C-alpha cells in the first residue's frame, strides 16, 4: 500500500512538472520581450538587424513551437537548462550558486518564527481570554495585515539607518547581514503560526486525557509540555512543509529589499531582463523542490504521530 | 425596519462596512478629498519635503504631494483587488460547480489542472507570469487570478458534491429540470454563502499580493500612483525621506485591516458555528 502510494505521488510530480514546463515555455514563447535584443543590450552592444536575425537562427528561436519545446525538454532532462542570456553562464550553475543562500535564509527565518510563534501561541492558549491572550491576538491580527515588504523597510529604517546595527545591503551572507531579512520573513509568518499554535493547543486542552491527568494531580507544566505540546505539533508540520516551500519562492520580495544574493533576487532580475532560460529553469527547479518537500512532509506524519502509523498498518 | 435591526444587531459588521465604504468613497472622490491637487505633477523646488501643513504626508523626489498620491493610489489598489477577487470568485466557482455537478472526465480535467496549480509555490508562478507577459496592472491581475482560482474551485466542488446525490436533487433531474436550472437554482445557491465568506476574507490577502507584485515593479507602471510601487520609490530615498515609504505602507496596512475585519464579521454573521 505504502509503496503504491509513493509511486503514485512520484508519477503525479512528474505529470505536474511536464505541465508546468509546457506552461512556462508557452508563456515565454508568447511574451512580447525579445531575448536576443536583451542579450546584446545586456552585453552593451547595439545589435544590427542582421545580427539579431542571425542569432535568432543560431539559438533556434525561429523553429516552430513544438520543435523548440521538445528540444528544450530533452536538454532539461539531461540537466541542461541552457545558458542565461544576460549573465552568460549555464542556468543550472547560476541556480545552484544561489540555492544555498536562500535555503539558509529560509531555515533561519523558520527558526526565528518558531521561537516567536510557539511560546506566544502557547501562552495565549493557556491564558485564554486574559489580557495576555488579547495582546497576542491583537499582535497577530496586526501582523497579518502588514505587507512583509513594508515590515522589511521599517526594520531597515530602524536598524540600518537610525541605529547602525546592521548593514543595509545584505550581500555579504554572514549572520549579521542575514538577520534582518530572516527577521522580516519570520515576523510575517509568525502571526499565522501563533494563531495555529493557539487553536491546536486549545483543542488539545479540551481533551478528556487532560482532565484525567489534572484529576490525578499531574503538574500542569508536565501536562502542557509532555502531553499537549507533542499532540498540538501535528497540524503544524503540514503548515511547516507548505511554508518552507512557499518561502523558497516567496523570499524574493525580501531578498530584493535587502539586496540579498538569493534565488528570488536572481529570478526577479531574470524576469526584468527577459532572461527566459533562467526563468524557466528557476520555475521548474522550485516546483520540483516544493513538491519533494511536500512529499517528505506527508511521509513524516507516520514518524511523528503513532496514530497515523497504526492506521497505515491496519490498512 | 428589519434592515435597521440587522445593522444594529451586527455592530462590528456595520462599523467596518462604514469604514470600507468610506475608503471606497475616498478613492472615488479623490479629487475632492485632495482639494484638486494633481497626483502626477509636482514642482521640483518642493522635492523631498518633510511632512508639513502644506504637504501633510510630505513630498517625493519629484515634488509630488504624497497625500494626494496615496489617496489616488487607493483607486488603483482597490480596483485591482476587487477585480482579482471578483475574477477568482467567478472562474473558481464556475470551474468547481461544473466539475462537481458533471463529474467524470470533466471533473478529472478541471481538478487535475487545479492540482497542478496547487502543487506549486504561488508567488513564483505569479512572478513568472506577470514578468514574462510584461509589467502592467492587467497582467498582474491575470497572474494572481491564475494562481488563486483553485481554492474556490475546490471549495465549490466539495459543496456541490455534498448535495449532488441528495434525493431532492435526483427528483428534480428525473422530473425534467434543465441542466441550466439545476446549476443555477440548486447547485449555486447551496455553495454561495461559503464562497462569499471566503471572498470577503480574501480581499486583504489579495491586496497584499498585488502590492508585492507592484512593489517588485510588475504591476501598475509609473508615474501612475499605486501603493506598492510608491513603497518601491520610497525605498531608494529611505535615508533622506522616510515618509515616502511610511505613508503608502500605512495605507495598505489600514485598508487590509478594515477588509480583514469586515471579512471576519461577515463570516460571523453567515456562519455562526465557526465563530
Q: What is the DSSP string of A7-59?
A: HHHHHHHHHHHHHHHHHHHHHHHH-SS-HHHHHHHHTT----HHHHHHHHHHH
pLDDT of B257 higher than 60: yes
Question: In chain B, where does DSSP find H-type helix?
Answer: 2-9, 11-28, 30-33, 66-102, 104-118, 122-133, 137-164, 167-174, 179-181, 188-215, 227-236, 243-270
At residue B119, φ and ψ (nearest 5 deg) are: -80, 40
Stretch among A27-31, A179-183, A204-208, B76-80 having the lowest mean pLDDT: A27-31
pLDDT of B248 higher than 70: yes
At residue B59, φ and ψ (nearest 5 deg) are: -125, 160
- State how far the Cα of A138 lies from the Cα of A136, in Å rounded to an integer: 5
CB-nearest to A256 from B112, B216, B257 is B216
Q: What is the mean pLDDT of residues A53-65?
A: 76
| pLDDT at residue B85 in the model | 94
- State how far the Cα of B145 lies from the Cα of B79, in Å rounded to an integer: 14
**Residue where the block lists cell 544574493:** A261
pLDDT of A315 higher than 50: no
| pLDDT at residue B274 in the model | 47
Cα A276 to its chain centre, rounded Å, is 21
Given CB atoms, is A291 within the 8 Å cutoff of chain B?
yes
Given CB atoms, is A8 within the 8 Å cutoff of chain B?
no
Stretch among A201-215, A234-248, B156-170 having the lowest mean pLDDT: A234-248
Q: With contact defined as beta carbons under 8 Å apart, do B226 and B214 qualify?
A: yes
Instruction: Identify the band that residue A171 occupies on the pLDDT scale cut at 50, 70 and 90.
Output: low
Closest CA to A285 of A111, A91, A114: A91
Q: What is the DSSP letter of B49?
A: P
Given CB atoms, is A13 within the 8 Å cutoff of chain B?
yes
Q: With contact defined as beta carbons under 8 Å apart, do B44 and B108 qualify?
A: no
pLDDT of B252 higher than 50: yes
Contacts of A145 in chain B (CB under 8 A): 204, 208, 253, 256-257, 260
Interface of A with B in 112-151 (CB under 8 A): 141-142, 144-150
Question: Under an 8 A CB cutoff, do B132 and A28 touch?
Answer: yes
> Over pLDDT 70: what percentage of chain A?
88
pLDDT of B9 higher than 50: yes
Contacts of A142 in chain B (CB under 8 A): 257
Q: ipTM > 0.85?
A: no
Given CB atoms, is A201 within the 8 Å cutoff of chain B?
no
Q: What is the mean pLDDT of residues A104-124?
A: 89
- State how far the Cα of B256 lies from the Cα of A81, in Å rounded to an integer: 40
The string of pLDDT tens digits covering residues B130-144 is 777 777 888 888 888
- State how far the Cα of A40 lies from the Cα of B11, in Å rounded to an integer: 62
Q: Is B107 in a helix, a strand, or coil?
A: helix
Q: What is the DSSP letter of B46?
A: G
Q: Kindly list the distances between the CA atom of residue B116 and the CA atoms of A26, A129, A247, B119, B146, in Å, as whole numbers in the listed order.
A: 16, 42, 19, 5, 11
Contacts of B143 in chain A (CB under 8 A): none
Higher pLDDT, B232 or B135: B232
Question: Under an 8 A CB cutoff, do A153 and B238 touch?
Answer: yes
Contacts of A20 in chain B (CB under 8 A): 116, 120
- State how far the Cα of A232 lies from the Cα of A201, in Å rounded to an integer: 5
Instruction: Find the largest Cα–Cα distance for chain B.
Output: 77
Given CB atoms, is A14 within the 8 Å cutoff of chain B?
no
The string of pLDDT tens digits covering residues A203-221 is 888 888 888 888 898 888 8
Measured CB to CB, residues of chain B less than 8 Å from chain A are 112, 115-116, 119-125, 127-129, 131-134, 204, 208, 211-212, 215-218, 228, 231, 234-235, 238-239, 242, 245-246, 249, 252-253, 256-257, 260
Cell of B218: 510588475
The string of pLDDT tens digits covering residues B24-46 is 888 888 777 777 677 777 676 77
CB-nearest to B208 from A27, A147, A286 is A147
Higher pLDDT, A315 or A231: A231
- State how far the Cα of B100 lies from the Cα of B86, in Å rounded to an integer: 21
At residue B49, φ and ψ (nearest 5 deg) are: -85, 140
Question: Under an 8 A CB cutoff, do B132 and A282 touch?
Answer: no
Question: Under an 8 A CB cutoff, do A145 and B257 touch?
Answer: yes
pLDDT of A134 higher than 70: yes
CB-nearest to A250 from B123, B128, B242 is B123
Min Cα–Cα distance to chain A from B211, Å: 8
Q: With contact defined as beta carbons under 8 Å apart, do A266 and A73 qualify?
A: no
Q: With contact defined as beta carbons under 8 Å apart, do A239 and A193 qualify?
A: yes
Q: Kindly list the distances between the CA atom of residue A147 and the CA atoms of A99, A100, A154, B183, in Å, as whole numbers in the listed order.
A: 25, 26, 11, 39
Q: Is B65 in a helix, a strand, or coil?
A: strand
**Range picked from A85-89, B64-68, B220-224 for highest mean pLDDT:** B64-68
- State how far the Cα of B98 lies from the Cα of A263, in Å rounded to an integer: 39
Min Cα–Cα distance to chain B from A244, Å: 10
**Residue where the block lists cell 502509523:** A309
Amino acid at each position: 500500500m505504502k509503496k503504491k502510494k509513493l509511486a503514485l505521488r512520484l508519477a503525479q510530480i512528474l505529470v505536474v512538472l511536464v505541465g508546468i514546463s509546457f506552461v512556462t515555455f508557452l508563456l515565454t514563447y508568447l511574451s512580447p520581450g525579445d531575448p536576443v535584443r536583451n542579450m546584446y543590450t545586456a552585453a552593451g552592444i547595439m545589435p544590427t538587424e542582421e545580427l539579431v536575425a542571425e542569432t535568432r537562427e543560431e539559438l533556434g528561436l525561429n523553429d516552430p513551437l513544438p520543435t523548440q519545446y521538445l528540444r528544450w525538454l530533452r536538454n532539461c532532462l539531461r540537466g541542461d537548462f541552457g545558458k542565461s542570456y544576460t549573465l552568460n553562464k549555464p542556468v543550472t550553475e547560476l541556480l545552484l550558486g544561489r540555492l544555498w543562500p536562500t535555503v539558509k535564509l529560509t531555515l533561519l527565518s523558520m527558526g526565528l518564527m518558531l521561537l516567536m510563534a510557539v511560546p506566544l501561541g502557547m501562552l495565549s492558549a493557556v491564558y485564554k481570554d486574559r489580557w495576555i491572550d488579547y495582546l497576542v491576538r491583537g499582535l497577530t491580527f496586526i501582523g497579518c495585515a502588514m505587507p512583509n515588504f513594508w515590515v522589511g523597510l521599517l526594520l531597515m529604517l530602524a536598524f540600518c539607518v537610525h541605529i547602525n546595527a546592521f548593514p543595509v545591503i545584505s550581500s555579504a551572507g554572514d549572520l549579521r547581514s542575514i538577520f534582518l531579512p530572516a527577521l522580516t520573513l519570520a515576523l510575517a509568518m509568525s502571526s499565522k503560526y501563533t494563531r495555529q499554535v493557539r487553536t491546536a493547543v486549545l483543542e488539545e486542552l479540551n481533551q478528556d486525557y487532560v482532565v484525567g491527568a489534572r484529576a490525578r494531580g499531574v503538574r500542569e507544566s508536565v501536562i502542557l509540555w509532555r502531553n499537549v505540546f507533542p499532540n498540538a505539533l501535528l497540524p503544524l508540520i503540514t503548515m511547516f512543509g507548505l511554508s518552507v516551500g512557499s518561502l523558497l519562492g516567496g523570499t524574493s520580495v525580501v531578498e530584493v529589499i535587502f539586496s540579498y544574493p538569493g534565488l528570488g533576487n536572481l529570478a526577479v532580475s531574470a524576469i526584468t531582463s527577459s532572461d527566459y532560460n533562467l526563468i524557466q529553469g528557476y520555475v521548474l527547479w522550485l516546483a520540483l523542490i516544493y513538491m519533494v518537500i511536500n512529499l517528505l512532509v506527508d511521509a513524516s506524519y507516520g514518524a511523528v504521530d503513532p496514530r497515523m502509523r497504526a492506521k497505515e498498518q491496519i490498512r | 425596519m428589519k434592515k435597521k435591526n440587522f445593522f444594529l444587531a451586527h455592530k462590528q459588521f456595520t462599523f467596518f462596512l462604514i469604514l470600507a465604504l468610506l475608503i471606497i468613497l475616498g478613492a472615488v472622490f479623490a479629487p475632492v478629498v485632495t482639494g484638486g491637487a494633481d497626483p502626477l505633477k509636482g514642482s521640483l523646488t518642493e522635492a523631498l519635503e518633510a511632512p508639513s501643513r502644506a504637504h501633510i504626508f510630505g513630498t517625493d523626489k519629484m515634488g509630488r504631494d504624497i497625500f494626494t498620491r496615496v489617496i489616488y493610489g487607493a483607486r488603483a489598489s482597490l480596483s485591482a483587488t476587487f477585480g482579482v477577487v471578483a475574477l477568482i470568485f467567478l472562474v473558481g466557482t464556475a470551474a468547481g460547480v461544473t466539475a462537481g455537478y458533471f463529474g467524470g472526465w470533466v471533473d478529472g480535467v478541471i481538478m487535475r489542472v487545479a492540482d497542478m496549480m496547487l502543487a506549486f509555490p504561488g508567488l513564483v508562478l505569479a512572478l513568472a507570469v506577470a514578468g514574462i507577459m510584461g509589467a502592467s496592472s492587467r497582467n498582474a491581475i491575470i497572474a494572481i487570478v491564475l494562481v488563486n482560482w483553485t481554492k474556490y474551485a475546490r471549495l465549490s466542488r466539495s459543496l456541490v458534491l455534498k448535495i449532488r446525490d441528495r434525493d431532492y436533487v435526483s427528483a428534480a433531474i428525473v422530473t425534467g429540470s434543465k441542466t441550466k436550472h439545476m446549476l443555477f437554482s440548486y447547485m449555486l445557491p447551496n455553495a454561495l454563502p461559503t464562497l462569499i465568506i471566503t471572498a470577503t476574507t480574501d480581499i486583504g490577502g489579495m491586496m497584499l499580493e498585488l502590492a508585492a507584485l507592484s512593489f517588485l515593479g510588475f504591476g501598475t507602471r509609473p508615474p501612475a500612483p499605486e501603493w506598492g510601487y510608491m513603497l518601491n520609490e520610497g525605498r531608494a530615498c529611505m535615508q533622506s525621506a522616510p515618509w515616502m515609504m511610511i505613508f503608502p505602507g500605512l495605507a495598505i496596512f489600514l485598508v487590509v485591516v478594515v477588509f480583514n475585519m469586515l471579512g471576519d464579521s461577515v463570516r460571523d454573521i453567515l456562519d455562526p458555528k465557526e465563530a
